[in-house]
Structure formats: C-alpha cells, structure tokens
Chain A
Amino acid sequence: MSFLSVQQVSRSCMNGEETTAVLKDLDLEVGKGEMVMIMGPSGSGKTTLMNSLGGIEMPDQGGISLDGLVVTSLGPNDLNQYRREKVGMVFQFYNLIPTLTARENVMLALEGRKLSRKDSRERAQRQLDLVGLKGKSDRFPQEMSAGEQQRVALARALVKEPALVLADEPTGNLDEASEAMVLDLLLKARKELGTTFIVVSHNPRLKGHMDRCYELRHGRLSAI
C-alpha cells in the first residue's frame, strides 16, 4: 500500500443554487519520499485537493490515508492532531502571524508537542538557520522581504519534520536565487527525512526536480 493514498475522492461545492463537482473520483498514490507536482488552471480544484490532503476540508466521498492512518475517518480533534504532527503546509501567501517574530512563527508549529521552551526555540532557530535566515529570527514578518517570508513559512512547515509537506506555489513570489534555495531545502528534507511532498506550482523549473507531475483538469488528475 502507498504511503499516501487517495481513492475515489469526490468533492462538490455550491455556487449559488448550482452544484459544481470540483473533484471527481480522484485517485492518487504517492510513495514515501516522493515529490509530486500538481498543475492546473485556476478553479481546477488544486486548493480543494490540497485542503483535503491536509485534513482542512473533507471530501464528500472517497478515502485518504497517510502511512496507514485513514484521514477521512478522523474527527475534528484528531484532524487537528494530524495537521500538527503529520503535515506541514506552505501557503502561497505565507500566512505568517504578523504579531510573532520569524522564530516565534516557526515555534508556533511546535506548540502541542511535548518540548521544553528551550528545545522548541533551538529547533526553530536551527530551522531558520537552514533556510538562510540566521540573524533575522527576531524580525517580524512585515520587516522581511517576500522571499524571506516564504522561507519562514517553509521553516515553519519543516521544523516539525512532518511526513507530508503540502506546498502551494512555494516559489511563487521568489527571485531565482531564493527559488534555488527553497528547492535545495525541499530536496534536502526529502533526502534526509524521507519527507513526501505534494507541490502545487506552475513553475517549469521545479518540474524537473519532481518525481511525477500531474495536471488537474475537470476534477481528475492526468499524468504529464
């Protein structure tokens, strides 16, 4: 059985009185440590798929399991725990908390773990060092560039060493140098921790580093 398994997942949404099928009997199998890229036009259901994988929204039908854990059968509290322990999310617009410093934003991802404050702080600092933000860990998001904020978001996703990282346009707002650094980090995490990545992106430069690429169209995935 695959590390990440998506079986016959369907999801519809209401547009006024009209029901639109966003995902239709979608299947996807991903092995541990794989990097999968998903492309697709706007409104094709990429975000719905990512939210479903992250346990943020539940499909209407079908099942999702990660490392044997059936995500679609979890209740709200268990889903929260699933997100906290198994999944790291990188948003296109970073979604950093403006009233927390870079290090505190990263530490936020460790809340709920049985870590001392000192350990949590050290781990967050190490992760920030890894993404090249040494010396900027006490800055607030609004004091950082878009690229730096994206790296904080990445550090926040990776600090808890999740089994699965869901990244939505992780290089969308970055210059080439930053983009290369982010890519290096993803690859390093895969190599050292065996992290599985699902990346939504339209960046052709990323495509070459992925194990597989899919296009999501009309609610179904097709390999490209």
Chain B
Amino acid sequence: MSLTVRMVLRKMKSRKMSVLLSSFIVAWAMAMLVAGIWSAQVMDVSSREYLDDNGMPDLFATLSEGVPAEDIEPSLSSFSSYQLRLRWNGRASIEGLNTTVVIIGVPEGGDELNRLTLLDGALYSAPDECVLVAGSRTAEDLDVFVNGTLMHLEVTGTVSSPEFLTNELSVGSIVPGSGGMTIVYLPLSSLQAVLGPMVNDLLLDMPDGMFREVAETSLSPLPVSSVTYREDHQTVVLFRMGADKFSTMPPAISLVFVLIGLISIFMTMYRLVLGDSRTIGVLMSIGVGRKRIALAYLAFGAVVLLIGSIMGVLLGYAFTAGVSQMALDMMGGIPMVLPMDPVPTITAIMFTAFAVMTATAIPVALVLRKSVNEALSYAPRARVRVFKRKGTSLAASLGLRNLFREPMRAAVVLVAVALSIGTAGSWVLMVDSAMTYLDDQMEAQQWDVSVAFNAPLDRADAIEKLSLANVNKVLPYASLAGALSSEGGTTGAAILASPNITEVRNFDFQKSSFQPGGVILATKLAGDLGVHPGDEVTFSLGGKEVDLTVSGTVNDMQSNAVYTDSVAVMDMVGEGKCRGAFVIMDDPKAAEVFATSISEDPLVGAVELGEEQASDIRSLFEGSISMLYGFFALNLLIALAMAVLATVISTSERDMEFAAMASLGVPKGFIWRSLAIEVGTQASIAALLSAPFAFLLAKQFALLMEEAVFFIPIILSISAITSVVVLGWLFIWPSVLWPIRWVKRLDVVRTLRDRSGR
C-alpha cells in the first residue's frame, strides 16, 4: 500500500462516524435497488411456481346453463386436459348469518387442474362431506339450500386453491368475483344428485402454441357466458400487480437514496480534502503527482463503497426476503422461492460504485486544481451571513450563523434532508390521497343496495322482483371480465354494463361526456389502448365480440374499469338478461330492511349494502398500503442519518471554537442552546421544504402505482402535509444529540494544542 493511501486511510480513522453514516446511506440505496430488482424476480418465480405446481388452468369458461358432460366433451378435443365441474350458488346460515355459498362439484380424481391444498382437517371422502376455501366463514356443518333443496354437508377441512387464492383478501369489490365468499368444494356427484347430471364450469389446459382464437372457436358451440384466460384471472392479475409494483417502486425510491448518498459522500469528501489542503500542498511541493494524490483520496470512496456494499448486500437480502414475504403473504400466503441470481446485486453494486466514486472524485478534483501555493496557504474561512434581529440572543445568533456559515453546503444539506423527509412523506400523502379518493369514489356510487343473482335473470323479471316497498329504482346490470381491443393492442378489462349506467354512478369525465351506446374507459386503460373519445374498441368474451365507441374517459380507482349502457354487452350474459341489479331506495335508511328481505329469495346470490362495500374496500386498501407506513418510518431514519452526518461534519470542523468557548468558561447551557437552535432551525427548514418534495414524489410514485395497482390522484391535504412536516421535524431534531455528545467529549487541551501548532 502506498504511503499516500495509508495516509488517507489513517485520516479516515478520525472520521469513523462520517464514514459509517455515508456507508449506511450508500448501503440503504443499494439495498433498495437490490430489493427492487430481486423482489420482482422473487414474486414472479414464486407465483409462477405456485401456479404450475398447483395446476392453474390456462382457461376458465362458464356456461350460462347446465349441459351434460357428454355433450361438452366433443368440443374439448383440442385441449390438452380439462375438468368439468358444476358450480351453483346456494344459501346457508353460518354463524347466524344468512350467507350465499358458492358450491363447486369437483369430478372424482380431478386434482390435475386447480389442485386443492389442505390447510387443516382432511379432504372430503364421502358424498355428504365438503371442504371450505380459506377466507370463508367457518362452520362444522352446513345446511345449504340449493335450488330449493336442503343439502346437509359435513365440513372436513379448509383448503386453498389457485382460483380462489384472493378469497382471503376480501378483494371482491376490486377484483370481480372474489373476496370473502363462502366457497365449498364437494364431490361432483353429490351436487349433480340435487341439480341433475350436468356441468356448467370448465377448467381447460391449452396445449403449447394454441392461439386464443382457436380455443374460443372450439368453445363456440357451447353456451359460454364468460371466458377468463389464466393471464387475466384474478389470482394471476394480483400476482402480476405485486410483481409489477416491486419491480418499479423500490428502484424508483432507491434513486432518491442514491442521490442522498451521493450528497453525503460529497460533503464528507469535500470536508476531508479541503481540510487536507495544506497536506496536499506539501505532497505536491515534494513532487508527488496529482494523479497519485487523487488515487489516495479515492481510497476513501473505495472504503465507503466496500463497507456500504457489504451492508447493502446483507440489507438487500433482508429487504428482498422481507418485502417479498410480506407481499406473498398478502397474495394468499404462497411459498417464497428465492432465486439465487447475482444480477440484481451486481447491477446494484455497479450503479452504486459509479455514484460513490463520482461523488468522491469531484471534490478531490476541485482541490487538486489548486496550485501548490494556493493549497499550502489554504485556511478555512467562514462566509458569515448576518442574522441580527433585535432581541435575538447571542446563542441564537451563533446557532443561526453557524447553520449558514457555508451557504452552499447548508443549502445542499437542507435539500438532502428535505428530500429524505419528502420521500418518507410521499407515502403519507399517498395513503391520505388514496383514502380521500376512495371516499370520493364511494360517494360517486348512487345505489344503496347491490343484488347479484345466482344465474342470469330476465331484466324485466329482475325489475319486477326487486321493486318492493321503498324502492325508487332498480337498475339491472351485467359485470363481465373479458378482453378489450383496439388498434393499439388488447388488454384485460372489467366491464360493468347497465342500461342506466349514468344513474349507477356519477362520472367525473376527464375527456368528453357520456354518449348513449358508448363506453367510458378508465383513463389508464384508454392510455394503454391508445384510444380517445370517438375511437372504436372491441369487447370480446367467450368467442363473442361487441364493437363499441369510446365516449369518454374517467379517473377510476380500478385502472382497467369499463362502463357502458350497451345492451349488446349486457346480452353477452344472455339475451335480455342481467347478472344483478343496483337498487336505489326512496330512503337510504330502508336499504338494510330491503337487503334482509331480498336475501331470502332463492334466486338471489349475494346482497351488498353500498355502505358495506365502502367499508370493505377501505379495509382492503388499508391492508394493502399498511406497508407504506413502514416505509415512512424507515425513510425517516435515513433523513435522520443525513442530518446527523451534516451536523457531525459541521461541528467537527468547529472544534477549535468549542475549545475556545470551554477555555473562556462559557456555560455549557449556552453551547447546548446554540446547537439546539442551529439543529432545530435546520430541522424546521428541512421539514418545511420537505412538503413540496413529498407532493412531487407522491405524484411520481402514484404514477408508478397506477401502472401496477390502483389509480390514486394525489391531493395536497393540510392534515397530511402537517403530519409530514411535524413528524419530519421530530425525527430530525434528535440529531442535535450527536454534536452535544461530541462537544461533551471534546478534548479541549488537545484541540487547543493541535490547532495552534503546540
């Protein structure tokens, strides 16, 4: 090791705190980068392995009516495997509640597709036994009314299945057809004994290379009411949302921390080389080349990088495992598969190395540009800005002037700390905005009760059936999950069709307005398809297609939402039929009584009050964004680290001043007060500055969020911003403890001697 490198490394020993804090910030940035790239891989691999291991079918097809299995099988010859099931809605009283039960009859030996994983108890083995899907209301015995017949079933265990993995998540209102339902699997023969020898639910595996068109053509002789491909299935969509979220969010956040790390290293390095100007001058005067000196100081960056990388890899592994596990738990508790891929770590190290070495090299280059004379005669100078107000105490003046004695550095520190708080605060704004938006969305719903039927029902019959006392209006609807195509591409869409769609909910149009017969698209969906009002789109489902004209776009929490009053779309569930109806009451208070009375009807599958739906979605939202609060706290720690680093650097270069004050017998309280004012002011300005950063970052993160999960318009609310500012301030404020501790431990005698050359 050369003498110059050894010299710099020894110098670092006296700056252990700065080195450690810089390394910590670098490690944090790196860990976020690693976690971003790696956790997306973990989620992707884990979900793929889970789906493959558990026989997730390529295609789900629902028939609008029951058909004997032997009539269906000829149409399925082109599929590699299939399972023909019977699915019906019944009603049962569980825990005193009259509940809709989804009953699925599974053929004997049907475990190749949609494999059931036993969570507790045992699988059914007798005709009167069944298993419940996790997330269902639990019971030991079930008395289920199916088509007017009472079935007594003994519940033998609880299972999870790929098709209902989301059932535990109560996401029914977000992902159509799932969430908190009571779902029962039982032998197909048991259900056929009640309903007749028919099936209406098809699970299909497509051979490699089979096109969708071919699959749909094969199914066209059957009365298919809906077709869902594996990629569009709620479980896969949820997995993809998770993977997308983790492939975009953490790397984006890590960039903020890379920037903060860069600033912290730059500050530390700048102070180190500037303080060493005379030494550098001496080295130059005895003929040591600039390149050699520069390399010696770059060793500092290398050490920070080394420590940061070691911590970063460990932290990155922990983050990845933690974040992936949390996300996979939220996605139904599927097992985590951690692929050992060095690419995320190598990518993160290379990126971080570039940033660290750049931040190190710039201040070195600035000092090495000086002539030998300039370097030798360098003396640190404070560029004092006068803060003088009548009544300002001496301690306050000292604190404020010290804060701004290096205006450029003060500005950089304030921006870096504010950026850290802002990053943390952006989560608070997002949560607040999401909740506010959720409330707005719920208020946009104009109905009081939503009723879903067990099977498609004539619209006129539905209106007649539901037009009870206190009912103002019945709005039949059909909700369908299919594919929406335009010239710009094809994507999955959740469509809600009702002849009175503008009475179902209010639309806050972003573009154009509603035209009868047209479709309203979520802004994100319209953007993905590249369509505008007036353009044509095609909705396809189960081999049927309907061409529609885009009449407008709206901001919608569900980024693939489509609304239409098209009768043609409604007819896709059966001509003149509907799947359910929204009910508007004369008096909303009468909704509960209406819901109770209608739920007894054998044709009614599910009844939901508008208020209940709002609370369900709110709890889902709260659950899925709870981890954002964790990020908030963790990011605040980085803000604290940055503030500590800044104050440590700033106070350590003032050792002589503290020693001088000690030698004058200046009371310690005076020094503490001036430090408290200095750090307190820094915290106040940074916390205030963090508000616009939080807003801007929240907007950026919301854009990423929209790509992955939900659309959230960021709203600048006073309460959220106040929380960010106050919490930010409270987190930064403790950084005063470090300089106080440092001053307490300052060796006055040694400082006076060293700095006066004695």
Binding site for B on A (CB under 8 A): 47, 51, 54, 56-57, 80-85, 87, 89, 91-93, 95-100, 104, 107-109, 111-112, 117, 140, 142, 156
A104 with B397: CB separation less than 8 A: yes
B382 with A95: CB separation less than 8 A: no
- From A92, A98, A99, A104, contact of B756 by CB (8 A): A92
Q: For the complex, is B351 an interface residue (Cβ under 8 Å from A)?
A: no
Binding site for A on B (CB under 8 A): 381-382, 384, 393-394, 397-398, 401-402, 405, 656-657, 659-668, 670, 748-749, 752-753, 755-756, 758
A95 with B656: CB separation less than 8 A: yes
- Cβ of B665: which chain A residues have Cβ within 8 Å of it? 80-85, 87, 112
Give the shortest distance, in Å, between B745 (CB) and chain A (any CB): 13
B666 with A104: CB separation less than 8 A: no
B393 with A97: CB separation less than 8 A: no
B668 with A95: CB separation less than 8 A: no
A56 with B749: CB separation less than 8 A: yes
Contacts A97-B398, A98-B405, A117-B393 given: A89-B664 contact, CB under 8 Å? yes
A84 with B756: CB separation less than 8 A: no
Contacts A97-B398, A109-B664, A156-B664 given: A142-B756 contact, CB under 8 Å? no
Complex Cα–Cα for A91 and B405 (A): 23
- From A47, A81, A98, A107, contact of B394 by CB (8 A): A107
Give the shortest distance, in Å, between B690 (CB) and chain A (any CB): 26
Complex Cα–Cα for A97 and B395 (A): 12
B670 with A98: CB separation less than 8 A: no
Task: Name the residue in A56, A99, A108 with the highest tally of chain B Cβ atoms < 10 Å from its Cβ.
Answer: A99
- Cβ of B402: which chain A residues have Cβ within 8 Å of it? 99
Give the shortest distance, in Å, between A160 (CB) and chain B (any CB): 9
Complex Cα–Cα for A162 and B758 (A): 25
Give the shortest distance, in Å, between B367 (CB) and chain A (any CB): 21
B666 with A100: CB separation less than 8 A: no
A47 with B758: CB separation less than 8 A: yes
- Cβ of A83: which chain B residues have Cβ within 8 Å of it? 662-665
- From A85, A91, A98, A108, contact of B382 by CB (8 A): A98
What are 14 pairs between A and B in contact, CB < 8 Å? A51-B749, A56-B748, A56-B752, A83-B664, A92-B756, A93-B756, A95-B659, A95-B663, A99-B384, A99-B397, A109-B664, A112-B665, A117-B393, A156-B664
- From A51, A99, A111, contact of B670 by CB (8 A): A111
Complex Cα–Cα for A97 and B405 (A): 12
Contacts A98-B405, A99-B398 given: A111-B657 contact, CB under 8 Å? no
B663 with A57: CB separation less than 8 A: no
* Identity of the chain A residue whose Cβ is nearest the Cβ of B660 in the assembled complex: A95
Q: A89-B664, A95-B657, A108-B666 are in contact. List 8 more A-B contacts (CB 8 A).
A: A51-B749, A56-B662, A80-B665, A80-B667, A89-B663, A93-B756, A95-B663, A99-B405
A99 with B382: CB separation less than 8 A: yes
Complex Cα–Cα for A116 and B662 (A): 22
- Cβ of A100: which chain B residues have Cβ within 8 Å of it? 394, 397-398, 401
- Cβ of B401: which chain A residues have Cβ within 8 Å of it? 99-100
Complex Cα–Cα for A140 and B756 (A): 20
- Cβ of B661: which chain A residues have Cβ within 8 Å of it? 97, 108
Contacts A47-B753, A92-B756, A99-B398 given: A54-B405 contact, CB under 8 Å? no
Complex Cα–Cα for A89 and B659 (A): 12
Give the shortest distance, in Å, between B65 (CB) and chain A (any CB): 87
* Identity of the chain B residue whose Cβ is nearest the Cβ of A82 in the assembled complex: B665
Complex Cα–Cα for A84 and B665 (A): 4
Complex Cα–Cα for A99 and B395 (A): 11
- Cβ of B670: which chain A residues have Cβ within 8 Å of it? 111-112
Complex Cα–Cα for A84 and B666 (A): 6
Complex Cα–Cα for A161 and B657 (A): 22
Give the shortest distance, in Å, between B653 (CB) and chain A (any CB): 11
- Cβ of A117: which chain B residues have Cβ within 8 Å of it? 393
- Cβ of A96: which chain B residues have Cβ within 8 Å of it? 660
A111 with B753: CB separation less than 8 A: no
- Cβ of B656: which chain A residues have Cβ within 8 Å of it? 95
Complex Cα–Cα for A96 and B398 (A): 13
A142 with B663: CB separation less than 8 A: no
B667 with A112: CB separation less than 8 A: yes
* Identity of the chain B residue whose Cβ is nearest the Cβ of A55 in the assembled complex: B665
Give the shortest distance, in Å, between A144 (CB) and chain B (any CB): 13
Complex Cα–Cα for A108 and B753 (A): 22
9 nearest A-B residue pairs (beta carbon): A84-B665, A83-B665, A95-B660, A99-B401, A112-B667, A98-B382, A57-B749, A111-B670, A47-B758
Task: Name the residue in B394, B656, B659 with the highest tally of chain A Cβ atoms < 10 Å from its Cβ.
Answer: B394
- Cβ of A57: which chain B residues have Cβ within 8 Å of it? 749
Task: Name the residue in A107, A108, A111, A142 with the highest tally of chain B Cβ atoms < 10 Å from its Cβ.
Answer: A111
Complex Cα–Cα for A85 and B665 (A): 8
* Identity of the chain A residue whose Cβ is nearest the Cβ of B399 in the assembled complex: A99
- Cβ of A99: which chain B residues have Cβ within 8 Å of it? 382, 384, 397-398, 401-402, 405
* Identity of the chain A residue whose Cβ is nearest the Cβ of B755 in the assembled complex: A93
Complex Cα–Cα for A89 and B665 (A): 10
Give the shortest distance, in Å, between A173 (CB) and chain B (any CB): 12
Complex Cα–Cα for A172 and B635 (A): 53
- Cβ of B755: which chain A residues have Cβ within 8 Å of it? 93
* Identity of the chain B residue whose Cβ is nearest the Cβ of A162 in the assembled complex: B665
- Cβ of A92: which chain B residues have Cβ within 8 Å of it? 756
* Identity of the chain A residue whose Cβ is nearest the Cβ of B405 in the assembled complex: A99
